[in-house]
Structure 1
């Protein structure tokens, strides 16, 4: 995992007063259901944290997982 992304995630977990593992679990479970994991307030905090840690990566930069039914 890219180090600036990890820093943002750790800071977000601290902001939400939860463990990093619990944060990631919630994000993944929401993603599995096609739902957003974050409120507008949390998204604003994420934007600030991205600026603090210089995180410029976007979803377009993520590793691609084939979505063709293969596992």
Structure 2
């Protein structure tokens, strides 16, 4: 095992995306932070982070949380005012 140092950060994420990530992390029995960290490390190497089985679970969770955003939306969204 490699030793690393983690720091606390505040990320603002789209509400339905966060719900989906939290549910997936729970399914995988890891923290949401560990999930995001693993996804980033895979992406930095151009590798897919999920198996076909996990992708199927993600598709189901996207339906549960009504997550209709896609990768194409990542550069075409803007935040709404919430109160």
TM-score, length-scaled by structure 2: 0.75
Q: Which runs of 4+ in 1 moved over 4 A?
A: none
Q: Quote the RMSD (CA, aligned, Å).
A: 1.0
Q: How many residues align?
A: 64
Q: Comparing both structures, which one devotes a greater share of its residues to helix?
A: 1
Q: Rg larger in 1 or in 2? A: 2
Where does structure 2 lack aligned partners over 5 or more consecutive residues? 1-12, 77-83
Where does structure 1 lack aligned partners over 5 or more consecutive residues? 65-71
TM-score, length-scaled by structure 1: 0.87
Q: Relative CO higher for 1 or 2, CA cutoff 8 Å, sep ≥ 6?
A: 1
